[in-house]
Amino acid sequence: MYNVIMDCDPGHDDAIALLLASRADNIRILGVTTVAGNSTLENVTRNARRVLDYAGVTDVDVYAGANKPLMRELYRLTGAIIHGEDGLGGPEIPEAVTPVRPEHAVEFIIRTLRECPEKVVLVPTGPLTNIAMVLTQAPDVKEKIERIVIMGGAIYDPGNVTSAAEFNIYQDPEAARIVFQSGCDIYLNTLDISMKAVFYEEDKERIRAKGGRIPTFVAELLDFFGATHVEHFGFFACPIHDALCVGVLIDENLVTWEHTYVDVSVAEELTRGETVADLWNVTGHAPNCHIARTVNRERFVEMITEHMGRSYVSKGRP
């Protein structure tokens, strides 16, 4: 059983990542933390809470974190285009009934890592601001982190904000750099694989055909998310980037990895947020990151489709 903290900015694919984690047999969600990214902190926190309530996950608390990147202003354009103004365009779901917790996300993560009797996996699927704050404010907690499974970066293929940079890393490159240099065991699901693990129209319709509350909700999320991808990127398929971070915990054969050294460009516009990997081992740096190399798309589609038909079962406390 993995003890997991989901650090996210929902976001259509973040929402599906939350749903997948909540339905996985081997994942216990200790808490959900939010970070400004796809939309404002207020919007993404509202979205996290109402998705969890809608999915019956009322015993998992939500904590709001950083409302902007460490050293920059929040970049709003791509998030609004792809996810809508409130971060979760498309399906209409009710407001949450369960309140957001008053504790700051960073304090919650530090406290949980210190108190948990077992190691914890961090799953950041938004900008890395909260995680960088945790690692700088409380370096002692590193020993309690089993691994950090990140959605971010583009190494072999181009980025989606600029040709150098992927959205999450572009938003807060300084934070990403702190995380990559932290010495933690890092797994990086990049655009290189998430753009290959896409959902086609027929995959979406298979989910919808299952019927019921969650499959219908997911299909409606994909209707909106797919349409904005067509409009913005001319891309006729839907990449559920963030859910891959959960997928690799459910099925260790979903993705293959390459262990290498990765650093992040904190330069201004041209290469801002570029994840630069030492693929030929020319720098002499020891590897600090497992970068995703291949993904089994069919397995991923099957996993999401099957899990969305399940009900939520609480895993209790470790």
Coil, strand or helix at 16: helix
> Measured from the CB atom, is 55 or 151 closer to ligand BDR?
151
Could you tell which of Ca ion, ligand BDR, none binds residue 7, using a CB distance below 5 to 8 A set by kind? none
Give min distance, CB of 19 to ligand BDR, in A. 14
* DSSP for residue 311: P
Alpha carbons 190 and 188: distance in angstroms, whole number: 6
Give min distance, CB of 283 to ligand BDR, in A. 26
Could you tell which of Ca ion, ligand BDR, none binds residue 160, using a CB distance below 5 to 8 A set by kind? ligand BDR
Site size for ligand BDR (CB under 6 A)? 15
Angstrom CA distances, 309 to 27, 205, 269, stand at 17, 14, 43
> Measured from the CB atom, is 45 or 160 closer to ligand BDR?
160
Query: Per the structure block, which two tokens stand in for 42?
Result: 């207020």
Beta bridge partners of 193: none
- Other CB atoms within a 10 A radius of the CB of residue 230 amount to 12
**Residue 260 in contact with residue 277, Cβ under 8 Å?**
yes
Query: Per the structure block, which two tokens stand in for 66?
Result: 């950083």
Alpha carbons 263 and 261: distance in angstroms, whole number: 7
Could you tell which of Ca ion, ligand BDR, none binds residue 96, using a CB distance below 5 to 8 A set by kind? none
**Residue 6 in contact with residue 17, Cβ under 8 Å?**
yes
> Measured from the CB atom, is 31 or 84 closer to ligand BDR?
84
Could you tell which of ligand BDR, Ca ion, none binds residue 61, using a CB distance below 5 to 8 A set by kind? none
- Of the residues 229, 241, 290, 307, only one is catalytic, namely 241
Size of the chain, expressed as the number of residues it contains: 318
Restricting to residues 9-28, name those near ligand BDR by CB under 6 A.
11, 13-14
Restricting to residues 145-174, name those near ligand BDR by CB under 6 A.
151, 160, 166-168
Restricting to residues 101-140, name those near ligand BDR by CB under 6 A.
125-126
Angstrom CA distances, 211 to 95, 198, 205, 221, 307, stand at 22, 21, 10, 14, 13
43 interacts with ligand BDR by CB under 6 A = no
Strand ranges for 198-241 from DSSP E: 198-199, 238-239
Could you tell which of Ca ion, ligand BDR, none binds residue 172, using a CB distance below 5 to 8 A set by kind? none
> Measured from the CB atom, is 38 or 260 closer to Ca ion?
38
Give min distance, CB of 111 to ligand BDR, in A. 25
7 interacts with ligand BDR by CB under 6 A = no
CA atoms within 13 A on the CB side of 259: 5
Question: Locate tokens 């319709």: which residue?
Answer: 205
* DSSP for residue 7: E
User: Got the DSSP string for 248-300?
Assistant: HHH-TTSEEEEEE-EEE--SSTTTTTBEEE-TT--S-PPP-EEEEEEE-HHHH
Give min distance, CB of 230 to ligand BDR, in A. 16
> Measured from the CB atom, is 10 or 31 closer to ligand BDR?
10
Active site residue 241: yes
Give min distance, CB of 17 to ligand BDR, in A. 8
Give min distance, CB of 172 to Ca ion, in A. 12
> Measured from the CB atom, is 7 or 61 closer to Ca ion?
7
Alpha carbons 295 and 84: distance in angstroms, whole number: 28
The site for ligand BDR (CB under 6 A) is made up of 11, 13-14, 38, 79, 82, 125-126, 151, 160, 166-168, 241-242
Active site positions, annotated: 241
